[in-house]
DNA sequence: GAGTGGTCTAGACCACACA
DNA sequence: GTGTGGTCTAGACCACTCC
């Protein structure tokens, strides 16, 4: 038997309402104070339960807006090249994304580790936000080799990166050094995703090179914790 | 500038002591009440900061024992077959593990989804705990096809699974359906790892089949959140 | 037995969202 | 303006660890 804890009462109360369909995916939970009144418990206890449910991936919260029921996860294979929109729609999601072109920047020594480019390289910087069923679920920062992939940024709007590079630049991109790490999302990212500071997330870094191993692109993806599930189907 | 928050004072105070080496990896933090006194802050505030640091992967806690500084992460490629001990020692860790043989069980319909075996299959169940530098970092539950891999359990003690299956049974194992998900560790696992209930973790499931796609082994790994970093080096 | 972490209460104030 | 979530205080009791 589970030990008796008040926060487990809150947790199970909410889980039951999610399972029964009373709280549907994407809908907002009652306010914390309403839950306190319903269950006659202190707000600190209720918040403890809500944070547990968040870390379970059952609910998420938007900064100062409240708590929401998580939707199903996008199944995502980070080792394969993917076109985000096609992947999402093949799984029945309504997908869209925004693009922000930050122009050319020079890779600084401090960035080198994260970016994979030698410092001093000129790269295009591009930021994308991904939406699933109208919810922002990922923030992506991409760096692309500016000299080797001149004027590539506008070309990636409608086609996948690998495809553009192959067709327009005659270079075969290879996926290298894929890194996956659960993280606490930083302020810059939580702001972008509208989440509360300290929200859990998943960090995925994908480095692509040409056939000689020279780095041509680095994508850094920050996903809402409950929005994806990673699968790698080898062979 | 970062917004002024008391819990950020605590967080930075601890980070500074970690960076300065005053708190070394694996060592215990001062007690919560000591930190309160040092910083003249309330224990709730201090605990909020500690939980943030835990989710950052900087510290972890052992149930009712206290908070400890995280050690460096094992770099782990779940797509490749690995021998845990060899991998860990190649990265300079002192590695050991324990094995528990649970005998033969029959896969029930409820287990089917998780296990990958058709229900009704007889499988060996084996549990392993992995230690890095004398810290328990992972709990693994393995299921192995009992008829096709008869008496395999004792053979895996010193050799890697793939190798044993190839050499002793003449079967080439293929890695299939790798699943990675950050989770809240369940009571069964936190007890095994000595962590507090509600500790964050990483769940990795690896399914191996023969060349025809018949499932021969399913490994379910529960890792301490801050103990590993996943890398998949494609090609 | 002293001290620890785990849980829980009962408040408070602020900045922000929403209407 | 009302209500919300975000932050913070000042306690309390219990079960457990450690000495």
Residues 6+ apart with CB under 8 A from A158: none
pLDDT tens digit string along B164-210?
A: 999 999 999 888 888 999 999 999 899 999 999 889 999 999 999 99
Instruction: Give dist(CA B61, CA B63) in Å, integer.
Output: 6
Q: What chain B residue is nearest to A2 in terms of C-alpha separation?
A: B187
Residue B55: burial class (beta carbons within 10 Å; 0-12, 13-18, 19+): buried
pLDDT tens digit string along A195-205?
A: 998 899 999 99
How many residue contacts between A and B have a Cβ separation below 8 Å?
84
Chain A closest-CA separation from residue B9 CA (Å): 15
Neighbours of A115 (CB within 10 A): 21
Q: Domains in chain B, ordered, with CATH?
A: 6-69 (1.10.10.10), 74-230 (3.40.1410.10)
For A188, the enclosing helix (H) or strand (E) is: helix A187-193
Residues 6+ apart with CB under 8 A from A19: none
- Residues of B with CB below 8 A from A183's CB? 56-57
| Banded model confidence at residue A162, pLDDT cuts 50, 70, 90 | confident
* DSSP character string of A139-173: EEEEEEETTTTTT-GGGGTTS-HHHHHHHHH----
Per DSSP bridges, beta strands B59-62 and B200-209 are unpaired
pLDDT tens digit string along B92-130?
A: 999 998 989 999 999 888 776 665 888 889 999 999 999
Backbone angles phi, psi at B164, to 5 degrees: -60, -45
Residue for token digits 């696992």? B189
pLDDT tens digit string along A106-159?
A: 988 877 666 588 888 999 999 999 999 989 999 999 999 999 999 999 888 878
Could you tell me if A44 lies within 8 Å of chain B, comparing CB atoms? Answer: yes
Could you tell me if A10 lies within 8 Å of chain B, comparing CB atoms? Answer: no
Average pLDDT for residues B34-43, to the nearest whole number?
96
pLDDT tens digit string along B15-37?
A: 999 999 999 999 999 999 999 99
Nucleic acid strand D within 7 Å of A7 CB: no
Spatial CA neighbour of B158 closest among B90, B215, B221, B86: B86
- Residues of B with CB below 8 A from A64's CB? none
Q: Pick from B44, B56, B180: which is nearest to A180 by CB?
A: B180
From the CA of B1, how many Å to the C1' of C7? 35
Instruction: Give dist(CA B151, CA B124) in Å, integer.
Output: 9
Could you tell me if B200 lies within 8 Å of chain A, comparing CB atoms? Answer: yes
Average pLDDT for residues B28-56, to the nearest whole number?
96
Per DSSP bridges, beta strands B74-76 and B228-232 are parallel
- Residues of B with CB below 8 A from A235's CB? 174-176
Q: What chain A residue is nearest to B55 in terms of C-alpha separation?
A: A184
- Residues of B with CB below 8 A from A177's CB? 231, 233
Burial A3-23 (b: 16+ CB within 10 A, else e): eeeebebbbebbbeebeeeeb
């Amino acid at each position: 038997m589970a030990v008796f804890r008040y926060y487990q009462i809150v947790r199970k109360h909410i889980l039951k309402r999610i399972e029964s369909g009373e709280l549907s995916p994407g809908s907002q939970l009652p306010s914390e104070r309403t839950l306190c009144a319903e269950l006659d418990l202190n707000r600190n206890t209720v918040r403890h339960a809500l944070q547990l449910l968040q870390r379970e991936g059952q609910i998420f919260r938007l900064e100062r807006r409240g708590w929401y029921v998580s939707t199903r996860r996008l199944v995502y294979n980070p080792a394969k090249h993917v076109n985000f929109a096609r992947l999402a729609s093949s799984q029945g999601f309504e997908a869209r994304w925004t693009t922000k072109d930050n122009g050319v920047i020079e890779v600084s020594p401090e960035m080198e580790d994260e970016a994979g480019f030698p410092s001093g390289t000129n790269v295009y910087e591009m930021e994308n936000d991904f939406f699933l069923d109208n919810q922002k679920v990922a923030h992506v920062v991409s760096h692309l080799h500016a000299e080797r992939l001149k004027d590539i940024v506008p070309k990636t709007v409608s086609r996948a990166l690998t495809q553009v590079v192959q067709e327009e630049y005659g270079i075969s991109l290879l996926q290298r050094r894929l890194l996956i790490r659960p993280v606490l999302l930083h302020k810059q990212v939580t702001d972008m995703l509208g989440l509360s500071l300290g929200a859990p997330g998943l960090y995925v870094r994908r480095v692509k090179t040409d056939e000689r191993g020279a780095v041509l692109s680095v994508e850094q993806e920050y996903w809402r914790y409950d929005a994806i599930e990673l699968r790698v189907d080898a062979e």
